[in-house]
């Protein structure tokens, strides 16, 4: 996606062009290090199996698996590698592991970028407004996974009803969902035939149990910010540490990403500095835990998003004008 969603006068054209250049080296380093982390935590889980260390290792292993979505997101933007094929196939692999088919993700995410915070057209706002308990269950995972699995089954049955999906793309999504179901069936049959719990131990269980960690990033990006078209006000960045920035492929610089989504992940710190630091301003920004505390206070005990104004910020963060 090479579209621009912020004022072009925020950055000069030559700088922006240079920042929009993808790098096979940077992409390979990020993909390789992320997969290596999963391999390392998987090895630690295997070595600790049968001991008290297995429980924390199981949780540790699940975190980088869930954060593969940061990679899938960037691969869906075609910005990880300069070459088209690795963007395509790593994106499909990550989408398969995460029960989030790539073609659907791209269509939903395109609608999200083009219509950010528009209740009627933003693909990621095709949901009921949060209450305390709906937000809680989405955060910890049950409703998140139910939504993912139900959509794959529904698409595979030929029922594609999302309004942001063009009619000419629906048949492709049906085929994609059927390929996913076929792949999962093969894994299930092979596991039962071999009497193996490996898929559960090293993939499903750790991923399902640690979704809450990845949801810290998913939920902070827009919730509680105005539902209008100013990207500098409707998108939140995150204050965090270098390890989590690596794990999330720099998506903590989310305001900069939404302003110029054609800029690859490895250039987002530079883009953020040019858009904000150099101008002496900051986008809406919070820490992960500070944001979650604010959300829970806002919803407790029986409030919902509907109780707060759509045209103003109601969860922290400074606005840039």
Establish if 234 belongs to a structural domain: yes
Q: How many CA atoms lie within 13 A of 69 on its CB side?
A: 19
Q: What's the chain's average pLDDT?
A: 95
Who wins on pLDDT, 119 or 4? 119
Give 231's contacts (C-beta < 8 A, 6+ positions apart): 5, 6, 116, 255, 258, 259
Retrieve residue 195's tokens: 């009497």
Establish if 85 belongs to a structural domain: yes
Give 147's contacts (C-beta < 8 A, 6+ positions apart): none
Using a 10 angstrom Cβ sphere, with 0-12 exposed, 13-18 middle and 19 or more buried, the burial of residue 187 is: middle
pLDDT digits (tens, 9 = 90+) for 107-151: 999 999 999 999 999 999 999 999 999 999 999 999 999 999 999
Establish if 301 belongs to a structural domain: yes
Share of the chain above pLDDT 70, in %: 96
Domain that holds residue 151: 8-307
Retrieve residue 179's tokens: 């390929």
Distance, in Å, from the CA atom of 61 to the CA atom of 208, rounded to the nearest integer, reads: 11
| pTM, entire model | 0.94
Distance, in Å, from the CA atom of 101 to the CA atom of 181, rounded to the nearest integer, reads: 11
pLDDT digits (tens, 9 = 90+) for 149-203: 999 999 999 999 999 999 999 999 999 999 999 999 999 999 999 999 999 999 9
Please answer whether residues 299 and 132 qualify as being in contact, where contact means their C-beta atoms are separated by less than 8 angstroms: yes
Establish if 318 belongs to a structural domain: no
Who wins on pLDDT, 317 or 121? 121
Q: How many CA atoms lie within 13 A of 304 on its CB side?
A: 8
State the pLDDT at residue 286. 97
Give 235's contacts (C-beta < 8 A, 6+ positions apart): 116, 221, 222, 225, 254, 255, 257, 258, 259, 283, 284
Give 285's contacts (C-beta < 8 A, 6+ positions apart): 236, 237, 238, 239, 255, 317, 318
Establish if 321 belongs to a structural domain: no
Q: 6 falls in which pLDDT band (50, 70, 90)? A: low
Please answer whether residues 177 and 167 qualify as being in contact, where contact means their C-beta atoms are separated by less than 8 angstroms: no
DSSP string, 209-278: HTHHHHHHHHHHTTTTS-SSS-HHHH--EEE--HHHHHHTTTTT-HHHHHH-TTS-GGGHHHHHHHHTGG
State the pLDDT at residue 319. 45
The residue among 266, 303, 281, 274 whose CA lies nearest residue 233 is 281
State the pLDDT at residue 316. 85
| Total count of residues recorded for the chain | 321
Number of separate domains in the chain: 1
pLDDT exceeds 80 at position 318: no
pLDDT digits (tens, 9 = 90+) for 202-227: 999 999 999 999 999 999 999 999 99
State the pLDDT at residue 148. 97
Q: Which helix (H) or strand (E) holds 8?
A: none
CA dihedral 103, 116, 276, 256 (to 10 degrees): 0
Establish if 316 belongs to a structural domain: no
Q: 321 falls in which pLDDT band (50, 70, 90)? A: very low
Scanning the structure block, which residue is given the tokens 């939504």? 147
Q: Residues 72, 154, 121, 293: is their CA dihedral positive or negative?
A: negative
Distance, in Å, from the CA atom of 81 to the CA atom of 148, rounded to the nearest integer, reads: 27
Establish if 313 belongs to a structural domain: no
Q: State yes or no: cis peptide before 319, omega within 30 of 0.
A: no
Establish if 314 belongs to a structural domain: no
The residue among 85, 30, 91, 94 whose CA lies nearest residue 65 is 94
State the pLDDT at residue 10. 87
pLDDT exceeds 90 at position 3: no
């Amino acid at each position: 996606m090479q579209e621009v969603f912020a004022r072009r006068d925020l950055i000069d054209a030559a700088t922006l062009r240079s920042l929009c250049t993808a790098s096979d080296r940077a992409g390979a380093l990020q993909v390789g290090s992320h997969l290596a982390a999963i391999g390392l935590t998987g090895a630690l889980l295997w070595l600790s199996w049968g001991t008290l260390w297995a429980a924390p290792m199981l949780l540790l292993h699940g975190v980088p698996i869930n954060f593969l979505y940061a990679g899938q997101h960037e691969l869906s933007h075609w910005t990880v590698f300069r070459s088209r094929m690795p963007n395509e196939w790593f994106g499909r692999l990550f989408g398969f592991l995460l029960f989030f088919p790539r073609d659907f993700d791209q269509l939903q995410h395109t609608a999200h970028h083009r219509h950010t915070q528009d209740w009627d057209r933003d693909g990621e706002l095709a949901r009921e407004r949060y209450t305390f308990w709906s937000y809680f269950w989405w955060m910890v995972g049950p409703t998140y996974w139910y939504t993912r699995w139900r959509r794959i089954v529904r698409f595979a049955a030929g029922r594609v009803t999302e309004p942001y999906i063009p009619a000419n793309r629906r048949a492709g999504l049906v085929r994609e969902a059927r390929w996913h179901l076929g792949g999962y069936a093969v894994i299930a049959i092979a596991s039962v035939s071999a009497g193996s719990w490996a898929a559960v131990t090293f993939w499903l269980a750790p991923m399902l149990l640690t979704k809450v960690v990845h949801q810290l990033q998913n939920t902070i990006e827009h919730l509680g910010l105005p539902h209008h078209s100013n990207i500098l006000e409707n998108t939140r960045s995150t204050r965090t540490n270098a390890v989590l920035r690596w794990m999330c492929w720099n998506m903590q610089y989310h305001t900069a990403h939404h302003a110029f989504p054609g800029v690859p992940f490895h250039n987002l710190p530079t883009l953020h500095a040019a858009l904000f630091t150099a101008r002496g301003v900051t986008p809406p920004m919070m820490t992960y835990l500070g944001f979650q505390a604010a959300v829970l206070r806002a919803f407790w005990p029986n409030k919902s998003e509907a109780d707060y104004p759509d045209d103003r910020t109601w969860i922290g963060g400074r606005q840039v004008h």
